[in-house]
Structure 1
């Protein structure tokens, strides 16, 4: 019970100056479905690897080689409550239903997205691990989510292996994509998601900026559906070109 009360204090502290913004929500979505976490974590941790390396050169010594950015990782811990505590965000479902849904997301073989309102976190990701346990006799389920950034890549062209003669593995490029705007999504978040799967890497930056300038003038609401194809994005009956 002592550990449980300690956790409660941490959760409640997230509404103060030492934690996340008051009213902050965590939403995990995958393939058109979403889970809103009933107890927002009191904190999260993001790691940005940059893959720098130290190389030793004769007669010079060690030199630092600047690498390329690696995949971000993000982790946090919270609980799925079995009772309707006062700190629960909305009406919570059965705790095992949350476990089943997240395990389904992890095995869909499709990227997920984590959105944290009041922050700039809107991360396409994969679920790397999802340990959970019951530990205090309340039937609450305590868990940790470990996520890793997912990068959408559009290949320049199909590559043929010189030795095997087989096509190289390339990213699957969908013809169209639909997604919902979630609480906390900024126009730039939406623009990044809309162009990420349809454009070459060097084109994505300018196209995101072009779409951002158009979306920034519109009244965007959580729940709106964005429809994206190559070169065209539709929202609330309006068409935007990239």
Structure 2
């Protein structure tokens, strides 16, 4: 099975061979008198994602360099920006069979929790190994309530609560489309954007030199 990994706008040059997604539980176990333990079912918790990636300092023929060959520090700088930006980003993985058939994908908004950089000459040679941990991010909103005291002509006071504004993290993630068998860039733009003629614009956005050559499993950014 072949993988393609994206962290935000960055495609990893060498896809990790192993990926772990842990769907956490918020269920609560409690004890009832004369009934013993029961399990109170609650909505699932946030998903934890972990994997290890090799960042090459050597141009390997099996690696993919979307923006041309870049050494490890290029990707390390992007990881640092993802960590310090205090903003969530999209984590996207596409999976294809050896014959090129699209299998399934993962597309989830996440935060970069932590990462460990390892330099080991015996294991990695000139390259750098990075262990990455991500956590699912869900948009949320908080209501700001203002309580005012109103006094009428008879000196009677009344407290009135009003919602002044909403604050939260509701940034819209960039829209993407994973190429399936039979897709064309024109058809994707027609379906997703309502205008097939935008295929040249989308090709430029995704650094696609030939709009007629897109691959099954390829993730197309639409904006």
Aligned match of 1:147: 134
- Superposed CA deviations along residues 111-137 of structure 1, whole A, max 9, x for unmatched, are 111111233311100000110111026
- Cα RMSD for the two superposed structures: 3.3
Q: CA deviation at 1:97?
A: 1.3
Q: CA deviation at 1:159?
A: 3.8
Which stretch has the larger CA shift, 61-70 or 136-145? Answer: 136-145
Aligned match of 1:99: 76
Matches within 5 A, 1:110-149: 110-118=87-95, 119-136=104-121, 138-149=125-136
Q: Secondary structure of the residue that 1:158 maps to in structure 2?
A: strand
Partners of 2:108 and 2:84 in 1: how far apart? 18
Partners of 1:62 and 1:136 in 2: how far apart? 53
Partners of 2:57 and 2:32 in 1: how far apart? 60
Cα pair 1:133 1:142 within 8 Å, conserved: yes
| Bigger-Rg structure (1/2) | 2
Does 2:47 match 1:72? yes
Give the gaps of 5 or more residues in structure 1: 1-19, 187-213, 226-242
**Could you say if the C-alpha distance between residues 185 and 47 of structure 1 is closer, same or farther in structure 2, counting changes exceeding 3 Å?**
farther
Aligned match of 1:87: 62
Q: Secondary structure of the residue that 2:53 maps to in structure 1?
A: strand
TM-score for both structures, normalised by structure 1: 0.59
Partners of 1:148 and 1:66 in 2: how far apart? 22
Aligned match of 2:144: 158
TM-score for both structures, normalised by structure 2: 0.64
Give the structure with the higher percent strand: 2
Q: RCO greater where, 1 or 2, for CA within 8 Å and sep 6 or more? A: 2
Q: CA deviation at 1:168?
A: 9.9
Does 2:36 match 1:36? no
**Could you say if the C-alpha distance between residues 84 and 154 of structure 1 is closer, same or farther in structure 2, counting changes exceeding 3 Å?**
same
Does 2:146 match 1:171? no
Partners of 1:48 and 1:161 in 2: how far apart? 40
Partners of 1:180 and 1:217 in 2: how far apart? 14
Partners of 1:147 and 1:49 in 2: how far apart? 13
Aligned match of 1:27: 6
Q: Secondary structure of the residue that 2:75 maps to in structure 1?
A: helix
**Could you say if the C-alpha distance between residues 128 and 88 of structure 1 is closer, same or farther in structure 2, counting changes exceeding 3 Å?**
same
